[in-house]
Amino acid sequence: MRAQLRAVLALPLLLVPALALAQPAPPKRPENPMPTAVDVHHRPQAPVSLEAAQSEAKAIEAQLREPFPGEGGKPALRLVEVTPFGAGVVQHWQLANGLSVLLAPDASAPVVALHTWVRVGSAHEVAGKTGLAHLFEHLMFKSTRTRPAGTFDRVLEQLGASANAMTSFDWTAFHETVPPQHLATVLELEADRLTQLDLTAAALRSELEVVRNERREVVDNDADGVVDEALHKAIYGEHPYGHPTIGTAEDLEKLSLADAKDFHRQFYTPGRVTLVLAGGFDPALVLRDIARLYLHIPAGKDAAEGKPAAPPAKGSLITTEIDAGAERLAIAWRIVPGDHADHPALSVLAEVLFNADSARLQRKLVHDLQLASAASGSVTQTKLVGLFDVHVVLAPGKHARDALAAVDAGITALCSDKPVSEAELAAAKNRLRMEHFRELTGVDGRAETLGVQWTAFGDLAGHARWWQAVANVSTSDLHRVARSWLQKGTRAIVIGTPPEPRVSLASGKGKRR
């Protein structure tokens, strides 16, 4: 199970957790069953007064000045801001070495989500050394200079905690869900593996083999994985998002211990790390533990980030063979980053077209024309150039080019004689609101939302602005973004086709091999 939980999509879409489409990995890791004693979902948080929360945070800051005075006039721990978040607030703190802390306390929560977000993803890798960011998902669970391999998993299991990790283009995140009484112990484990990770040749060989097998299962031997990898390469080209998060097969064969150590030294520094806690904890006690465990870490030198290569100027259509019983169609339009003003309207547009039986293109492809067994659309939430992507699994015997024609006709109609109705708009917004409600009901969802918002965009208030913008989206906004980004935009198309039947010389009849 643990290897399954740590698996990651080779080409991540809109905030899909690592578990979502993971395939069983080889039995290289010890089992760590998920605990059943706690439920991370509970009733919604009671509203919190922003003014009262700000006063409380300032009082905590004053209390911590004596035990953690800082040096040279620079405070060891400072309060940056207190921002509304859902029904509660999030406190943003920063240590003198640059490490950020986001606290979203909720006294009604029975557990605590503890996340460590690192501002490094596959986009920070260089040619020939892809897959390093995801590889650290695995290496961070190995031995440290103070604890042997297996300690982290074993202690968490004994405490009734659970762990997970995921990697995207822009970040890597490590998750724990912890009973509140054991939070201090898990913080010690997290601080230990951040500062004392023991990178050895044996650990690297072991985890590289795990990742190679993972890649074979979720990319090389998976029809959708093959199509996704081809789609991202086609739409992004040499842009940092163009290579797979899991790494290319060629690079995974030649990554060295020196490569891993250099990557860790560059990117696992306090200025790139954010601790996010959501749930039932005392902020003052947690901050004391964090200061005690993390303040001594040297700030280090932040890795320089160069200007990314531009994606291809023109779109493309690629056909690739897949091991499947039906064709696949994948389309990606190049759109905007997650903090762009058009992103909320594009997200609503994806819901109008897909992700419900009543949505326009899903109904047309699956029910009206009966071309597909499944169809979906999504908008990525990335720091750099984003995607509006469509994935269609064709019904047996149906053809991807017919589905492509239906998608194009649907977009043309939306932009001309069949604009989005008020009823369609309301239904799409309602589905997004329900997704948002589910996201913020559990403490893990709250921590993930904050982690992405801060690590990718550096703007905690942007989360509320995004949802307000969704509420304000009009039918004319949908018409505008559909014309600008879909009808006139740059796109890549990948068609996956099953192999042709092999003809038996003995019988002359077609057979699949």
Q: Which segments within 280-381 are labelled E, that is strand?
A: 316-321, 328-334, 372-379
**pLDDT tens string 436-478:** 999 999 999 999 999 999 999 999 999 999 999 999 999 999 9
Number of H helices, E strands in the chain: 17, 14
Q: For the purposes of burial, counting CB atoms within 10 Å of the CB of 455, is it exposed (0-12), middle (13-18) or buried (19 or more)? A: buried
**pLDDT tens string 128-153:** 999 999 999 999 999 999 999 999 99
**pLDDT tens string 346-358:** 999 999 999 999 9
Greater model confidence, 505 or 233? 233
> pLDDT at position 4, please?
30
> pLDDT at position 21, please?
26
Q: Which segments within 191-261 are labelled E, that is strand?
A: none
> pLDDT at position 149, please?
92
> pLDDT at position 193, please?
96
> pLDDT at position 505, please?
54
Greater model confidence, 5 or 71? 71
- Report the candidate in 353, 331, 122, 314 with the shortest Cα–Cα distance to residue 227: 331
Q: What is the residue type of 247? A: G
Q: How many whole angstroms separate alpha carbon 340 and alpha carbon 344?
A: 8
Task: Using CA atoms of 501, 504, 510, 513 in order, give the dihedral in degrees to the nearest 10.
Answer: -40
Q: Is the pLDDT of residue 71 over 90?
A: no
Q: Which two tokens stand for residue 198?
A: 């023991």
Q: Tell me where in the chain the CATH 3.30.830.10 domain(s) lie.
A: 97-280, 316-497
Q: What is the residue type of 270? A: P
- Report the candidate in 124, 71, 77, 116 with the shortest Cα–Cα distance to residue 98: 77
Q: Is the pLDDT of residue 163 over 90?
A: yes
Q: What is the residue type of 454? A: W
State the DSSP code for 74: B
**pLDDT tens string 271-281:** 999 999 999 99
Q: Is the pLDDT of residue 15 over 90?
A: no
> pLDDT at position 199, please?
96
Q: Which two tokens stand for residue 38?
A: 């706690």
> pLDDT at position 509, please?
46
> pLDDT at position 70, please?
85
pLDDT band per the 50, 70, 90 thresholds, residue 184: very high
Mean pLDDT of 38-66: 80
> pLDDT at position 43, please?
56
Q: How many whole angstroms separate alpha carbon 477 and alpha carbon 334?
A: 18
pLDDT band per the 50, 70, 90 thresholds, residue 303: confident
Q: What is the residue type of 130? A: T
On the CB side of 47, how many CA atoms lie within 13 Å of its CA? Answer: 3
The CATH number of 316-497, from 3.40.50.720, 3.40.1740.10, 3.40.50.300, 3.30.830.10, is 3.30.830.10
Q: How many whole angstroms separate alpha carbon 4 and alpha carbon 22?
A: 6
**pLDDT tens string 76-89:** 999 999 999 988 99
Q: Is the pLDDT of residue 504 over 90?
A: no
Question: Left (φ > 0), alpha (ψ -120 to 50) or beta: where does 458 sit?
Answer: left
Q: Which of 6-20, 154-168, 335-349, 465-479 has the lowest mean pLDDT?
A: 6-20
As a whole number, the mean pLDDT across the chain is 89
Q: Is the pLDDT of residue 10 over 70?
A: no
**pLDDT tens string 110-131:** 999 999 999 999 999 999 999 9
pTM beyond cutoff 0.85: yes
Scanning 416-506, the segments in alpha helix (DSSP H) are 422-441, 443-457, 462-472, 475-481
CATH fold of 97-280: Cytochrome Bc1 Complex; Chain A, domain 1 (3.30.830)
**pLDDT tens string 221-239:** 999 999 999 999 999 999 9
**pLDDT tens string 309-319:** 888 888 899 99
pLDDT band per the 50, 70, 90 thresholds, residue 3: very low
> pLDDT at position 314, please?
87
What distances in angstroms separate CA 162 from CA 136, 155, 156, 175, one per listed residue?
18, 10, 6, 8
The answer to whether 17 touches 164, Cβ cutoff 8 Å, is yes
The answer to whether 231 touches 494, Cβ cutoff 8 Å, is yes
